Structure 1
Amino acid sequence: MTKKEFLRQYLDLSREIDAKLEEVRRYRALATKVTQSLAPDKVQCSQGNKMEAIIAKLVDLEREVDAEIDQMIEIRAAVKAAIDNAPDSKHRTLLRHRYINGKTWEQIAVEMHYSYMHVCRLHGEALDKLIM
């Protein structure tokens, strides 16, 4: 695993969790959606089965998300420790902005008052000097 891949794993997992949380919200909306058929001559038993399937999927997905959140916390601690060990404060700041806060190069350049190209060069230096 390269240094960049190591640093990116926190944000990558965070984005995966966000996508799964969106899926959880959709399943919760389905589970709480109530529809009733007003036809007195038909009796449907399949509605309960659909609801059970949705709730089962929701529970499984929530367990997955919980496990991934635990993993993300561990990864964040490892990434933050590696960044904190960078020898230069400019490098630490840049790496935190990028790999912990998920900011774009343009946002980092504005916040650090550097040009885009200087931020790119600084990032290369930071990766070279990073000790993992």
Structure 2
Amino acid sequence: MEEQVKSMEEVKQYLNSCLSAKREVEQLETDIAYFRAEKMSVRHTLDGMPRGSDHKDLSDYIVKLEELEKKLLRARYKRVAIYTQIFDQIEKMEDDMERELLTYRYLKGHTWEKVADEMYLSYGYCHKVHNKALEHFASVCTSSTERVALEL
């Protein structure tokens, strides 16, 4: 029984990796927008003293921003790969309701309340379907010829 609980936790962790990847992309996008806006704001010191060029500061800034943009691109590729892999496995499931529930919850990131509303289910029944869906998803993953690792 304990092994089955661990397996279900691994399945949930694997399914949640899609939302984690989405949050990582969103955070990087927010960071890049913030740094661009911050650098665009003009900051002058009006004390009358001569200043040197901050050319080096600007080029360092551009290099760091480009590194952040490359990291964002890698995160986007990772997100798409994870999403596609999970989507393909969910599509292999036989039960339409279970597929729909896992899609709403793990690919679209809906709350349990919203999942229940979208599917016209009670909150409790939604969790019952979810538990069955996790079991079936785990069997789809382990019986697949690809033998998808349920690890991050």
User: Given the two structures, how large is their TM-score scaled by the length of structure 1?
Assistant: 0.90
Alignment of 1:27-106 (within 5 A): 27-40=35-48, 42-45=49-52, 47-106=54-113
- Structure with more contact order per residue of length (Cα contacts < 8 Å, sep ≥ 6): 2
Cα drift, residue 106 of structure 1: 0.5
Cα drift, residue 75 of structure 1: 0.8
User: Given the two structures, how large is their TM-score scaled by the length of structure 2?
Assistant: 0.79
**Residue segments in structure 2 that go unaligned for 5+ positions in a row:** 1-6, 142-152
1:4 aligns with 2:12: yes
**Contact 1:30–1:54 at 8 Å: present in 2 too?**
no
CA shift digits 1:31-76 (9 cap, x unpaired): 2122233444x22236333333332221111100001101111111
Match of 2:51, SS state, is coil
Q: Which deviates more, 117-126 or 47-56?
A: 47-56
Cα drift, residue 90 of structure 1: 0.2
1:20 aligns with 2:28: yes
Match of 1:43, SS state, is coil
Instruction: Report sequence identity in percent.
Output: 27
Match of 1:122? Answer: 129
**Residue segments in structure 1 that go unaligned for 5+ positions in a row:** none
Give the Cα separation in 2 of the matches to 1:104 and 1:110.
Answer: 10
Cα drift, residue 86 of structure 1: 1.2
Aligned length: 131
Match of 2:93, SS state, is coil
Q: CA RMSD in A?
A: 1.6
Corresponding letter in the other structure for 2:133:
A
